[in-house]
Structure 1
Amino acid sequence: MNARRTLLIRRRKAVGHSQESLAAALQVAVSTVARWERGESDPRPWQRPKLEVELRLSTAELDELVPGASPSERGMRARSDGGLIDGQPKHGDVVTVAQLRRRVYDLDGRYDHMPSLSLLTDAAQALGQIDVLAEHSRSSSRRELQRIEATAATLLGQLVWDASQRRDHQTARRYFEQAERAAREVNDPVAEGHALLRNSYLALYGEHDPVKGLRLTEHTAAVATGASDVITGLAQLHSAEAHAMVGETRLCEVALAAAETSFGHVADTDAAARLFSPVQFDRLAGSCYLFLGDHHRAERFLGTAATATRAPTKSRAIVLGNLSLTYLHKRDLDAAVVTLHEAIDVVEANRGGGGLNLVSDAVRKLRSWQSEPVVRDIYDRVLSLMTATP
């Protein structure tokens, strides 16, 4: 067997696909996937974009595993009916839909690492193109477009809310509800659950309404149970935080235990696997104990989360913000200042609204130490952060 095809088999297994599941995702026969892997045939040009998505590869990486299209074939693809009219796609052929899906997934993957304002225009344009395509597509393409719409609308809601420093609840909720409708149309409980989960964040962290947030997280878990252990576990984690916000320690810990169980069942084949990180449990458990006033446990969980990854993500900024608040509650100024500097470093890189809000909360708690030189340094950095053009 050609060595490149051996690598193709390894990649398929690494992302959790069997031949049968990959064939189903690509809407081809199992024998077609088998022929690709034996080196007897190649994916057609219009199948490659979707294959890239399923194998989580770039175009160049897929070309390393399976020979790509020739330059003339690429030119034919670029001039095909999947082209654009006045910057908009003509109709929903397979190549155009696959390329649009890849574009939305790429934007979604960049959310946690980049300023939301830098992604807003592209995300809005993608959602607009989905609407145009849906008007001119066959029913099979339209269903696929609705799946992409659910992802794009959820992403756009996240971006709007984050870019507004978690203030524009109304616009974000409108996009999340659009995503929920699109997901229900195609009976996709994972996409619906993700949109519902994001909607719960508006209630919990924007409107500071844990009762409403708990209703949404419990509904999310009910929708996702049996479809995605990732979404179910995340919903249970945020249910735990809702209980913590109102001081319900026992119910909080019951929900944390349920989340830990769900995460223990997560498989690579979970449709929401891209949303899962082993750090999430420690991050949310630490936040729960911070709300409950158990600062020793909060420090333990948040410290573990903070050391687990050094990537300057929006999630890390939230961990560091909560950890600095924990140190301040414990009257450990030195540790709080060091952690706040780290948090500010991350927020400067990605402008995450959640991290910025927590940094602001920590700064307000520094007032009793405001004469200290190290605190004045923090004030200067936060002032620069607030006045900088995002």
Structure 2
Amino acid sequence: MRRVGLLAQWRQTAGFTQDKLAEALGVDRSTVHRWEAGSNSPRPWQVPLLAELINRTPIEVQEALERQSGASEPVINPSGVVDLPPGELRMVLLDLERRYDRVPSSSLLADASQYFARLDRLGRQLRGGKEQQAVLALQAEAATLLGKLVWDASQRRDHAGARRYYSQAAALARRVRDPELESHAFLRSSYIDLYGTRDATTGLALAEAAVRRAVPVSPALASLALLHVGEAHAMLGDRTACERSIGLAQDQLGRIDTGSVNGLVSPDQVGRLAGSCYLELGQLRRAQDELETVAGILGHSRKSRAIVLGNLALAFIRQQQIDGALAVLDQAVDELEQTRGGGGMNLVFAAARELRPWRQEVPVLDLQDRLLSLMAAP
């Protein structure tokens, strides 16, 4: 009789078939099958949700995956240098991803750069086979993370540096034939055009390319990409196309377990992006309603919450609701003092600029003092 692996045992104990677990994770059943067979591993952002669903800790899940893949011993590359097995290398990446939303990106750049360089050396020294494929896939993920860190740490100003990493991630993803990794790199690159250069046409093309690659392999990633397609349409003033894209995103989201928080997208993110779309379209009351709801439930992502609060402040200001704007800006600054997220910083300062007609009022002066302190902080 064929021995059932530990991951499969945990899945069965938790009451999941492979089909149901795949649905909850937003992946294909064949993906779950490959994880349990030890021929592939989840992405770092998938491990926490997988662990939650099968009632285990992320560390337990990662250890089980390593045992199934046979990665229990250090890799000795052709130069004789001992390195960590792919499973342990993945745990390093998972730790960096977890820390991203809790601390300033500038504090992670050195660790992430060293990690990327380590993967690059190991990938060059290995000569084909499963181990090299695993290392190259990790390197693609690390390149995407570095692009995100570079852009965030520069307060969304270093477009060229971030693009270089995203281009490298996409090239590595094509090399290992991984459309999900390539989609993620394209999507992250679209953010530069949507929120950095404000080139909605280019951002739309990149987000649509991300959708095409994600739809066959990841409903979660496809949903996230479609939300940004909708935002690009909103920036271009096309309400009909925007709402159609949001509807398609919800269709993709319906293919995963909406009661669980996915590492890439969750139901509250639909509200977050829809609120941003309505703000772009000048539908201020609808934007306010969406963003207020999301701000009340979005506690797991501090950088994202600062962005939501920044957009909500803009909706309040444009409706002449200054007290409401000041209240949410105060909350946004609380978040930014901990994370200094580039997206949140840009939106909060944009909102502060729109408060100029009220600049002599005491509460606005108090906010300006907080923003000056935020700028002066190391």
Bin for the TM-score computed over the shorter chain = 0.7 to 0.9
Inter-partner Cα distance in structure 2 for 1:192 and 1:12:
33
Q: For residue 91 of structure 1, report the CA deviation from its aligned partner.
A: 5.5
Q: Which residue of 2 aligns with 1:25?
A: 35
Cα distance between partner residues in 2 of 1:199 and 1:91: 35
- Per the TM alignment, residue 24 of structure 1 is displaced from its structure 2 partner at its CA by 2.3
Deviates more, 1:208-217 or 1:310-319: 310-319
**Contact 1:91-1:133 within 8 A present in 2 as well:** no
Cα separation, 2, equivalents of 1:9 and 1:19:
14
Alignment counterpart, residue 128 of structure 1, candidates 117, 127, 132: 117
Task: Decide whether aligned partners of structure 1 residues 28 and 322 sit closer, same or farther in structure 2, where only a CA change above 3 A counts.
Answer: closer
Partner of 1:41: none
Please tell me whether residue 148 in structure 1 is matched to residue 153 in structure 2.
no
Q: Which residue does 2:102 correspond to in 1?
A: 113
2:339 to 340, 350, 375: 350
Name the counterpart of 1:90: 81
- Structure with higher Rg: it is 1
Change (3 A) 1:159 1:89: farther
Q: Which runs of 5+ in 2 are unaligned?
A: 1-5, 23-27
Corresponding residue number in structure 1 for 2:214? 224
TM-score, with normalisation over the residues of structure 2? 0.83
Structure 1 residues 164 and 12, CA gap change in structure 2 (3 angstroms) = farther
Residue identity in the other structure for 2:135: L
Structure showing greater relative contact order (alpha-carbon pairs closer than 8 Å, 6 or more residues apart): 2
Give the one of 302, 305, 317 matched to 2:294: 305
Whichever residue aligns with residue 233 of structure 1, its letter is S
Among 176, 181, 193, the residue aligned to 1:191: 181
Root mean square deviation, CA, Å: 3.3
Deviations 1:280-319 (A, max 9, x none): 1000000001011100100011111101123461100000
Q: Select between 169-178 and 112-121 the one with higher mean Cα deviation.
A: 112-121
- Letter aligned with residue 24 of structure 1: R
The one-letter code matched in structure 2 to 1:102 is M
Q: 1:327 to 1:342 in 2, by over 3 A?
A: same
Q: What one-letter code is carried by the residue in structure 2 that aligns with 1:180? A: A
Pair 1:245-2:235 in alignment: yes
Question: In structure 2, do the counterparts of structure 1 residues 361 and 59 end up closer, same or farther at CA, with 3 Å as the change threshold?
Answer: closer
Q: 2:89 is matched by which residue type in structure 1?
A: L
The partner residue of 1:326 within 300, 315, 337 is 315
- Deviation of the 1:110 alpha carbon: 2.5
Map of 2:264 onto structure 1: 275
Say if 2:148 and 2:162, in contact at 8 Å, map to a contact too.
yes
Deviation readout 1:156-185 (Å, 9 max, x if unpaired): 000000000000000100000111011111
> Bigger shift: 225-234 or 282-291?
225-234
Structure 1 stretch displaced more, 97-106 or 197-206: 97-106
Partner Cα separation in structure 2 for residue 122 and residue 58 of structure 1: 24
The gaps in structure 1 that reach 5 residues or longer are: 30-48, 70-76
Number of residues of Structure 1 aligned to a counterpart in Structure 2 = 349
Distance 1:294 1:106, change over 3 A: same
Corresponding position of 2:303: 314
Partner of 1:32: none
Closer, same or farther: CA 10–163 of 1 in aligned 2, 3 Å: farther
Task: Note the 1:49-68 alignment, pairs <5 A.
Answer: 56=51, 61=60
For residue 166 of structure 1, the aligned residue among 153, 156, 159 is 156
Alpha-carbon shift at residue 84 of structure 1 (Å): 10
Single out whichever of 200-209 and 259-268 deviates more from structure 2: 259-268
Q: 1:299 to 1:380 in 2, by over 3 A?
A: same
